[in-house]
């Protein structure tokens, strides 16, 4: 028996995930998203500590520090996937597939993304304050200097550059999610997720949820970054770029390629969103 799902089965699983999450109670999705934000924050914190603790390597081989940062960062993404937490950026693709197949309507898609994003934000900021600041991990001399330098760079790029870097980041995140769907065993899912996530981090791309940990953590560590700089210079272009990269560069093309001819009529979509009907999709692990 094959240990891999076909691309068509992966798209079907994405549609199932998008529909299930978009139609579940808001409190449940929100709680899953808070956990997802916490896991991403913990992965980011680990990567920061490893990179900041290697100043000699940074001086002699800066590329290896980028690789080290990227190699440990996927911890959070793997935790989100294997524990059933929720992540906004991978939802960009799953939600688009579900909406394209008319399992959910536009209002449900927007609510899905908004609740997921806000929950991730809350989880990431809690992690920065509780596990970064209260443990002094982000306020030691080497860690704070590295973190502040990283954050200042993120709010110094032009809007368009951050937007494009965010597109590439979420293209790779959603490829990682699809490769995670493709495997039927735990190790296969972990490896499928690991390499694309490592690639976007090592390349220095922009992930809005990771930035919701990095930027507040940097301010807690003493960075002179205003709320306006944080939001306008980074979070808005990073979030928009993540949506485009996930929904339009991955979700939509794969929905077009692998969606079967039959899609739900509008009245059936409304019934699902209002809780009057089941999604009628196969029960696949996600």
Give the whole-angstrom CA distance, residue 247 versus residue 95: 8
Q: Is residue 66 part of a domain?
A: yes
Token pair in block for residue 280? 């009628």
3-state helix, strand, coil in the chain (%, to 5): 75, 0, 25
- Alpha-carbon radius of gyration of the chain: 19
Give the domain range for residue 188: 7-260
Model pTM score: 0.90
What total of structural domains would you count in the chain? 1
Give the whole-angstrom CA distance, residue 286 versus residue 283: 9
Q: 44-56, pLDDT tens digit by residue?
A: 999 999 999 988 8
Q: Is residue 149 part of a domain?
A: yes
**Which residue, among 176, 236, 230, 221, has the nearest Cα to 45 in the 3D structure?**
221
Q: Is residue 270 part of a domain?
A: no
**The pLDDT of residue 263:** 52
Q: Is residue 227 part of a domain?
A: yes
Dihedral pair phi/psi, residue 183, rounded to 5°? -90, 150
Q: Is residue 274 part of a domain?
A: no
Q: 181-228, pLDDT tens digit by residue?
A: 999 999 999 999 999 999 999 999 999 999 999 999 999 999 999 999
pLDDT (tens, 9 = 90+) of the chain, 286 residues, equals 678 999 999 999 999 999 999 999 999 999 999 999 999 999 999 999 999 998 887 778 888 999 999 999 999 999 999 999 999 999 999 999 999 999 999 999 999 999 999 999 999 999 999 999 999 999 999 999 999 999 999 999 999 999 999 999 999 999 999 999 999 999 999 999 999 999 999 999 999 999 999 999 999 999 999 999 999 999 999 999 999 999 999 999 999 999 875 455 555 555 555 554 333 333 343 3
Q: How many CB atoms lie within 10 A of CB 67?
A: 15
Give the whole-angstrom CA distance, residue 12 versus residue 284: 9
**The pLDDT of residue 110:** 98
Give the whole-angstrom CA distance, residue 139 versus residue 186: 36
Task: Report the run of H or E that residue 40 belongs to, with start and end.
Answer: helix 26-52
Task: Name the 3-class secondary structure at 4.
Answer: strand
Q: Is residue 281 part of a domain?
A: no
Q: Is residue 283 part of a domain?
A: no
Give the whole-angstrom CA distance, residue 57 versus residue 102: 51
| CATH code of the domain containing 41 | 1.20.1080.10
**The pLDDT of residue 261:** 54
Q: Is residue 246 part of a domain?
A: yes
Buried b (16+ CB within 10 A) or exposed e, 146-170: bbbebbeebbebeeeebbbbbbbbb
**The pLDDT of residue 59:** 78
């Amino acid at each position: 028996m094959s240990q891999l799902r076909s691309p068509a089965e992966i798209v079907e699983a994405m549609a199932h995930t998008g529909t299930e999450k978009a139609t579940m109670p808001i409190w449940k999705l929100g709680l899953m998203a808070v956990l997802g934000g916490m896991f991403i924050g913990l992965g980011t914190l680990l990567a920061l500590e490893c990179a900041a603790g290697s100043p000699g390597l940074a001086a002699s081989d800066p590329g290896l520090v980028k690789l080290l940062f990227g190699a440990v960062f996927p911890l959070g993404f793997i935790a989100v996937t294997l524990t059933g937490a929720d992540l906004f950026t991978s939802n960009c693709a799953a939600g688009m597939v579900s909406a394209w197949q008319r399992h959910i309507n536009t209002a449900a898609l927007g609510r899905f993304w908004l609740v997921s994003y806000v929950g991730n934000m809350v989880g990431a900021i809690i992690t920065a304050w509780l596990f970064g600041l209260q443990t002094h991990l982000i306020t030691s001399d080497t860690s704070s200097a590295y973190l502040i330098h990283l954050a200042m760079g993120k709010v110094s790029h032009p809007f368009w550059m951050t937007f494009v870097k965010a597109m590439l980041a979420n293209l790779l995140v959603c490829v990682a999610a699809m490769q995670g769907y493709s495997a039927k065993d735990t190790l296969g899912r972990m490896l499928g997720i690991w390499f694309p996530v490592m690639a976007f981090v090592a390349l220095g791309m922009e992930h809005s949820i990771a930035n919701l940990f990095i930027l507040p953590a940097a301010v807690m560590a003493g960075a002179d970054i205003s709320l306006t700089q944080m939001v306008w210079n980074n979070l808005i272009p990073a979030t928009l770029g993540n949506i485009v990269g996930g929904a339009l560069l991955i979700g939509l093309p794969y929905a077009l390629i692998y969606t079967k001819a039959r899609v739900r009529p509008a009245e059936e979509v409304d019934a699902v969103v209002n809780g009057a009907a089941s999604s009628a999709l196969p029960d696949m692990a996600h």
